């Protein structure tokens, strides 16, 4: 009953929000499109949006750039959680304020910047800041291409851990840290990603060399991390594998670690299923030089009732020697209430009877 009442309240607020907030976001406005040209419920991309993203934010022929529109978009997320915040933040907060910019620089080079002004109710950091070279910059081109990305970027994974995630609750496996090693897949990497292949209905291979450092960890940079990601598939199924390895130093102790995973994404009409398993090993996960093995994964089902209404359910599990087994079940409903706004209502059931209600209202301008 509480979930229904809260959903109705947020929907009411959304519908009463000033009309200016529902003007076209700048990316769509620059090319004379609507949000629904690229998205169903933001941030989920449709095939047109996927092609636009993979082509370095270049539109198809016949959509000229509007030079009078400044290429920066604003995204704001208001969030409520019934779980008390360990840092003392109120239950209802301005969770995120983001500035986003992206587009072509030259015929072959494009850029992206995603800057959090506020993140989790606290001052934010840069999420993405990169330049990318594409050998075949043609919208909808299905041929194999070389893409070289340099800067700070989200690591390639079977699902996006942050920007394209539809649930408020994070993926446990991508947040997993082992012992004193602060590495996780949620944070960006800084370095170079060289990829070759086809982004859809084919095979693509990524090889990465990354700075061995984790933001705000307090640890010094430790060498160069290596990473690889391979994805292959067709119109209904994608299979993927990934690897990340590196070192982290705790005083005189050097931890040599690796993480490897397998993923599958299945698309059948209105349904999408995402599966992932991951294992890891640390030679010295603590300052006491204790070796550790870790594991985890998730199973997620997404059902699109319509372009404006989506439901998701996900089971997450992780295991680490210092925290034991952790599990959660996330059930989410996403409703597009205006062309640039959505409401998310979510129930998270974790171990030991812990239940959390999350709700969010997101709008973009």
Please give the full DSSP string across 10-28, using - where no structure is assigned: HHHHHHHS-GGGGSPPHHH
pLDDT at position 323 over 80 = yes
Average pLDDT rounded to a whole number, residues 69-92:
84
pLDDT computed for residue 22 by the predictor: 31
CA 93 – CA 77 distance, rounded (Å): 9
pLDDT computed for residue 42 by the predictor: 66
Contacts of 250 (CB under 8 A, 6+ apart): 180, 219, 284, 286, 287
pLDDT computed for residue 84 by the predictor: 81
The rounded radius of gyration (Å) of the Cα atoms in the chain is 21
pLDDT computed for residue 13 by the predictor: 37
Helix (H, G, I), strand (E, B), or coil: what is residue 48?
helix
pLDDT computed for residue 365 by the predictor: 78
| Choice between 95 and 85, residue whose per-residue pLDDT is larger | 95
Q: How many domains does the chain have?
A: 1
Using the structure block, give the residue that is written with the tokens 């990524």: 206
Using the structure block, give the residue that is written with the tokens 């994070």: 170
Distances (CA, A) of 64 to 50, 133, 137, 173: 19, 21, 16, 42
pLDDT at position 181 over 50 = yes
Distances (CA, A) of 276 to 83, 286, 291, 296: 27, 27, 24, 8
Q: Which domain holds residue 256?
A: 2-364
CA 164 – CA 38 distance, rounded (Å): 13
pLDDT computed for residue 211 by the predictor: 96
pLDDT computed for residue 26 by the predictor: 55
pTM: 0.87
Paired strand residues for 129 = 113, 152
Distances (CA, A) of 56 to 16, 99, 115, 135: 36, 18, 18, 11
Query: Of the candidates 268, 267, 347, 339, which has an alpha carbon nearest to the alpha carbon of residue 307?
Result: 339
pLDDT computed for residue 41 by the predictor: 66
Neighbours of 220 (CB within 10 A): 9
- Strands 324-338 and 189-197, how do they pair? unpaired
What's the CATH code of the domain at 110? 2.40.160.10
Pair of tokens at residue 44: 């989920």
pLDDT at position 235 over 90 = no
Query: Of the candidates 253, 243, 86, 246, which has an alpha carbon nearest to the alpha carbon of residue 180?
Result: 253
Q: List the single range of 13-17, 93-97, 337-341, 355-359 with lowest mean pLDDT.
A: 13-17
Average pLDDT rounded to a whole number, residues 68-79:
81
CA 214 – CA 191 distance, rounded (Å): 13
CA 177 – CA 345 distance, rounded (Å): 27
240: left (phi over 0), alpha (psi -120 to 50) or beta: beta
pLDDT computed for residue 36 by the predictor: 64
pLDDT at position 357 over 50 = yes
The CA-CA-CA angle for residues 330, 333, 334, to 5°, reads: 125
Band (pLDDT 50/70/90 cuts) for residue 25 is: low
pLDDT computed for residue 9 by the predictor: 40
pLDDT computed for residue 309 by the predictor: 93
């Amino acid at each position: 009953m509480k979930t229904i009442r809260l959903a109705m309240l947020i929907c009411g607020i959304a519908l009463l929000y000033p009309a200016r907030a529902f003007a076209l976001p700048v990316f769509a406005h620059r090319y004379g499109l609507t949000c629904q040209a690229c998205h169903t419920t933001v941030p989920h991309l449709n095939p047109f949006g996927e092609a636009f993203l993979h082509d370095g934010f270049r539109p198809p022929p016949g959509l000229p750039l509007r030079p009078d529109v400044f290429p920066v978009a604003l995204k704001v997320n208001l969030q409520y959680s019934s779980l008390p915040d360990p840092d003392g933040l109120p239950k209802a907060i301005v969770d995120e304020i983001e500035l986003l910019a992206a587009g072509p620089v030259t015929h072959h080079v494009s850029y992206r910047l995603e800057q959090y002004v506020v993140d989790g109710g606290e001052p934010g950091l840069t999420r993405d800041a990169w330049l990318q070279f594409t050998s075949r910059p043609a919208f909808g081109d299905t041929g194999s291409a070389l893409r070289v990305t340099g800067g700070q970027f989200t690591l390639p994974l079977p699902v996006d851990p942050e920007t394209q995630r539809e649930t408020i609750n994070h993926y446990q496996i991508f947040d997993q840290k082992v012992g004193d090693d602060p590495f996780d897949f949620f944070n960006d990497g800084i370095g170079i990603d060289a990829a070759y292949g086809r982004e859809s209905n084919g095979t693509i291979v990524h090889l990465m060399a990354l700075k061995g450092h984790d933001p705000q960890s307090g640890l010094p940079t430790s060498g160069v991390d290596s990473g690889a990601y391979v994805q292959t598939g067709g119109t209904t199924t994608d299979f993927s594998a990934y690897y990340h390895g590196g070192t982290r130093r705790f005083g005189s102790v050097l931890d040599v670690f690796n993480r490897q995973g397998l993923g599958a994404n299945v698309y059948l009409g209105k349904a999408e299923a995402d599966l992932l398993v991951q294992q890891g090993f640390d030679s010295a996960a603590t300052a006491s030089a204790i070796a550790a093995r870790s594991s985890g994964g998730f199973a997620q089902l997404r059902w699109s009732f319509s372009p404006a209404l989506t439901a998701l359910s996900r089971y997450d599990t992780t295991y680490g020697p210092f925290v034991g087994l952790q599990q959660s079940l996330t059930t989410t409903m996403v409703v597009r209430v205006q062309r640039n706004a959505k409401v998310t209502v979510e129930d998270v059931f974790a171990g030991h009877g812990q239940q959390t209600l999350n709700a969010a209202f997101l709008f973009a301008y």
